[in-house]
Amino acid sequence: MDIDMDIDMDRQVITVIDLFSGAGGLSYGFESIDCDIVLAIEKDTWAAKTYKDNHRNKNIIVADISELDDSYFTKYRGQIDVVMGGPPCQGFSIAASNRRKNSDIRNTLYKEFLRVVSIIEPRIVLIENVKEIVNFHLPDQTKILDDIKQFLERHGYTYDHRILNCRNYGIPQDRKRFFLMAIKKSIANKPLNLENLMSDFIKPEITFDEAISDLPMVMARQYPEDYILAYTNEPSNAYQALLRGSCKEVANHIPMQHTNKTVEKFKFLLSKNKHELPEELKPRVRGDSELISEASYGQNHRIIIGSKVSPTITASFYSSFIHSSQPRNITVREAARIQSFPDTFVFKGKKTTLSKKLLERKGIFEDIHLDQFNQVGNAVPPIFAQHLASICMNILLKGK
């Protein structure tokens, strides 16, 4: 995923720490232009396994950042160019608005991020999060964003933040996210405007079908879990060729194990039949298959329009979308394509799991991890991360 840049190839290595790294979308983008990820921290075991198996830099530790004391980070003080990450957003994302609580511990994990920044004093700070972070208040009515700004000002940074839509920058997805970049005033030679800096990377939009149409056609229950498929089509455009690279086979491309009834329901929906679902295809009340459910799940089973960019891939997207032309939900690999992960990037852990509450109730504690769908949806698209890495490199090495 190379990008043409006017950068001295005799440059020094840019050093980076990735906090709350997940599977490593940010790290992958920075690594792709030869930055050195000297440390990544991720609490979840499955996501950390994915990170370690797919990154050139293996310097990831499985840890809760709040349990690492200040002394752990002091050895990096003054040695790091970029500290980056996306503190978990579930506490203030509108995707979980019915469960949101001001007391949610995840709302204060950004303070752990800032604690590490205060110890290391990197030259650049990069934060990614859901766009709703700009309006969220802590219990004392302080805005999270205002608290971050005040911290950056106290520590000698100039900064800018924007809501950027990945669809404008070569990512086949309507994905609006909050990005904040802060630079030490000692190296900033002009006001920072992140949107202007990103203008160098504006690209024509890529549709869902343009992103995934070369992948093999697969049907529910056609292959066993973890089956590796061969490509059956050549890439039909530059994006497909870029993400395939030298890859010879396709991992993470097995659909959900839909029942025959679900497949028939999807076929009915894909046919654009204007009639109401037949009685036999309507959802049933959980625990009583004789009763038709009246519950409405507006985010489930939306057909993706192949000729448009994909809707936002979220952490729990596995039942959200129906493939544009095939009667099934999209696969992990298709979602990874939409997120701009290369086909060589293989996601680890289980494809999907039950909800945390249900797993706890059943006593299945070994599965309380980020499954593959979660890992894909939580990530920063690597190509977008590469754009950010290019900006950081230009600032650090050329003062742009």
Q: List the catalytic residue out of 89, 166, 247, 392.
A: 89
- Category of 90 on φ-ψ map: left (φ > 0), alpha (ψ -120 to 50) or beta: alpha
| Catalytic annotation present for 166 | no
List active site positions: 89
